[in-house]
Structure formats: structure tokens, C-alpha cells
Amino acid sequence: MVFTPRIRRTAWLLIVLASSVAGFPQTNAQHARVELLARQKSVAAGSGVQLGVYFILEKGWHIYWINPGDSGQPPSFKWHLPAGFTAGEIQWPRPERMQPSKALTDYGYHDEALLPLTVRVPPSISNRMPVEFGVEVKWLICREVCIPERAELRLSLPVAATASADPQHAPLFAKTMKLVPQPLPRAWKASVTSSKDRFALTIRAGKPITEAEFFPLDPGQIDNPAPQNLQPSHTGATLILKKSDQLLKPITRLRGVLVIPGSPAYRIEAPVRQPLQ
């Protein structure tokens, strides 16, 4: 399709207008396009609807995970939902490691990220009016420098007897859900031993693990840029994690995400055994 400069100008103007007025599903912010998406085309009473805020980032720019690491700030969301609707937690896809300097490590997303959640729909809703979903999103976008941003996004979906998938967006949600950490397989076990300067995270998987990376969920527990030394065993592996200088008190559990190449990302919540006195 060929656009004349005039059409292109008009299109651009519409985009600019759209981004400056509340009530649109997407906004063009600095170095990113941000959009409120639904996995379904319609909403059914008594079910759940999966929504997500989709960030398409300009090359080189990034946003942050729920634990941003040594610097940065995760996006935050304030949902505006009709009475009786309740928003669940954001299901954060596994992050990437980012290194703003050799002494600092952050956790976040490049290129694009869908941050999904499920909204519960009450058992009875009127089908005369479409359902209006709104969210106020605040986020920090960084390259060498950081820019705080905010947007109000809105989306309306019709009510139907049964909710059907939106063929345009469902594949993106499906792809993203594969990146959302899952519980460890039932037969696996994670445990942590604490010593003076480090945690040893042992994973028993019934098979050797030769490559793995741990992303801490709680800040200030492990030293983010420190190399994670993996010691494979015939039943799994032990990952050595250097303690953070900020950690002054013993912790009882270590929470985070374990990423093993070729596997889904796993949620870890491991009890911590304290050093023997």
C-alpha cells in the first residue's frame, strides 16, 4: 500500500491525538508503544478474561521486571474495573539479565513484553452494554538514560454467552504464557543452604542440570552481578549465589525464577537452612 505524504501526515496526527486523549487502548510514548490487549473478543459472566499491557520498545530501550535488580523500577498498574470485577496479579514473564556496568545487573525486558493478568468476571452481568476496562500504567524506560512515563489505557469488550478467543491477540498471550514461570515439577525439589557469604541452591531433578540461571524475586538478598557458579550432579545441580552486602539478617526462604535452557522457567520458593553454629 502506498501512502501519500498527506495521508501519512493525517495518520500521524491521528496517532498523536490518540496518545494524548484518555480512552484509547494504545499510546505512543517516548521510545515505546504501549497497548492494553485482551486474549478474548468478548466477556462471559462468571468466567475470567485475560488482559495484558503490551510494550513494544524501540531498539536498545528496556523496561524492568518485578525485581528490577540493582537499578530501575518495575511498571505499576492501577486498574479501573466495573463493579464486581477483580484483577489478579500480573504474571511476569521470565526476565533477561542486563548489565548497565560490570558492577551492576538489572532484570527486565528488551524489544517487546506482554505483562498479562486475569480479571474475574462476576457471575451475572448485563449484556446490554460492553464492559469497560481501564488501567493507569506507570513505567520507567531506560537505555543509557531513564525516562519515567505514564498512560491511561482503556478497552471495551462486548458481553457474550461464551467468551471466544481473539485470533489477533491470542497467539501473543499463548507465547507469553510459555515465558511465565511454572511451579517446579512434582518430583523435583529445591533447597538452600546458607553460609557466611553465599547461598547454595540445590535442585534435585532426577537428572543432571548442566546450565541454569537464577533470578531473585526479592531484592537485597543476592549480589546481582556476581557470577553464579553451577555445580552439576547426577541428580541435578547446585547453584552458588553470592549474598548481597545489603543482607544483614538471615532469611527463611529464597524466592525466584530458575531458567534452564530448553525447559520452561520455574518458580522457586526454597526453604533456607541456616549455617551450623
Partner 1 sequence: MKNPRRSILQACALLGLIASAFAVKVGDPAPGFTAVDSNGKQQRLSDYKGKFVVLEWHNQGCPYTKKHYESGNMQRLQKEWTAKGVVWLTVISSAPGTQGFVTPSQENDYLKTMNAAPTAVLMDPGGSLGHLYAAKTTPHMFIVDPNGTLIYNGAIDDHPTSDQGDIAGSKNYVSTALQQATGGKPVTEAATRPYGCSVKYKD
Is residue 230 a contact residue for partner 1 (CB under 8 A)? no
Interface pattern 65-94 for partner 1 (x via CB under 8 A): -----xxxx---------------------
Q: How many CB atoms lie within 10 A of CB 237?
A: 22
As a whole number of angstroms, the distance between CA 204 and CA 234 comes to 9
Sorted by sequence, the CB contacts under 8 Å of residue 188 that are 6+ apart come out as 203, 204, 205, 206, 236, 266
Q: Which is nearer to partner 1, 87 or 147 (CB)?
A: 147
**Pairing between β-strand 266-273 and β-strand 182-183 as defined by DSSP bridges:** parallel
DSSP letter at 92 equals P
Give the nearest distance from C-beta 66 to partner 1 in angstroms: 12
Phi, psi of 86 (to 5 degrees): -130, 140
Give the nearest distance from C-beta 98 to partner 1 in angstroms: 9
As a whole number of angstroms, the distance between CA 34 and CA 114 comes to 10
Q: Which is nearer to partner 1, 72 or 236 (CB)?
A: 72
* Residue that has been written with the C-alpha cell 491511561 in this structure: 152
User: Where does this chain touch partner 1 (CB under 8 A) — which range of 10-18, 88-96, 186-194, 246-254?
Assistant: 246-254
As a whole number of angstroms, the distance between CA 250 and CA 114 comes to 35
User: Where does this chain touch partner 1 (CB under 8 A) — which range of 136-144, 171-179, 201-209, 255-263?
Assistant: 136-144
Is residue 251 a contact residue for partner 1 (CB under 8 A)? no
Q: Which of 2, 245, 262, 276 binds partner 1 (CB under 8 A)?
A: 245
Q: Which is nearer to partner 1, 89 or 245 (CB)?
A: 245
Site residues (CB under 8 A) for partner 1, limited to 185-224? 197, 219-220
List Cα–Cα distances, 120 to 32, 81, 124, in angstroms.
29, 10, 12
Is residue 101 a contact residue for partner 1 (CB under 8 A)? yes
Q: What cell numbers appear for 97 in the block? A: 539479565
Question: Which residues make up the interface to partner 1 (CB under 8 A)?
Answer: 70-73, 100-104, 106, 138, 140, 142, 144-148, 197, 219-220, 245-248
